Amino acid sequence: MTPPNFIPKFLRAASALRLKSRSIRRDQSGSALVEMGLSAALLLSMLFAVIQFGFALYTYQFVTEVSRELTRYAIVRGSSCSSSSTMTNCGFTDSSTTLQTYARSAYTYPGMNMGSLAVTSTWYAPVKDSKGFVTSWNACASGTGCNLPGNIIKISVSYPFVLNIPFIPKRSFTVASDSSMVISQ
């Protein structure tokens, strides 16, 4: 059936477009697949992001635990430590090297590269006034006199962590923790 001649051309074109759009709307067989692909990519990226943040928390817990344990290791091995006891490295003074070597050999956490673990230590000696009260603390170089009972040791542990989430550029950051205690022996 041909349209009558009195109907303007633009209305005839609009009518033809309506008929074409109806046929396109009926043919949506591939749209569910496209929607599923986009949704799955987004949901899987979010799932991997949650897993990566879980790994980041695991790394932070690891670094914090190593920092605390190394501080404890140092405070019980001060200058008054008895070498006749079963403890090794009694009275050690080479703090960073000894502690880093000990940390890399003593701690085994799954998924952690212990070679990337960095340990630094700072020793503090008390500054006393004329009455014998501690007024402040001075950092001293590692060595004899810094590992006396009553001095403070501060251990800093750091570990590089790579955040790897799909569709987002890799980011690397350092997870660090500090711990300090008074030397007891």
Q: Is the pLDDT of residue 50 over 70?
A: yes
Query: HSE-up of 141 (CA within 13 Å, CB side)?
Result: 1
Residue 94 confidence class, pLDDT cut points 50, 70, 90: low
Token digits for 21?
A: 């759009």
Q: CB of 137 within 8 A of CB of 24? A: no
3-state SS of 73-106 is HHHCCCCCCCCCCCCCCCCCCCHHHHHHHHHHHH
Residues 155, 102: Cα–Cα separation, whole Å: 13
Instruction: Give the pLDDT confidence of 8-35 residue by residue, as tens digits.
Output: 666 666 666 676 666 555 666 778 888 8
Cα-Cα-Cα-Cα torsion 101, 107, 113, 117, nearest 10 degrees, comes to -50
- Report the SS3 class of residue 151: coil
Residue 43 confidence class, pLDDT cut points 50, 70, 90: very high
Residue 160 confidence class, pLDDT cut points 50, 70, 90: very high
Q: CB of 153 within 8 A of CB of 183? A: yes
Give the per-residue pLDDT at 39.
93
Give the per-residue pLDDT at 157.
94
Instruction: Give the pLDDT confidence of 126-145 residue by residue, as tens digits.
Output: 888 888 888 888 888 766 67
Q: Which neighbouring-strand residues pair with 126?
A: 137
Q: CB of 159 within 8 A of CB of 175? A: yes
> Percent helix, strand and coil across the chain, each rounded to 5?
40, 25, 35
Give the per-residue pLDDT at 19.
64
Instruction: Give the pLDDT confidence of 164-181 residue by residue, as tens digits.
Output: 888 889 999 999 999 999
Give the per-residue pLDDT at 175.
95
Residues 74, 97: Cα–Cα separation, whole Å: 12
Mean pLDDT of 106-121: 88
Give the per-residue pLDDT at 168.
86
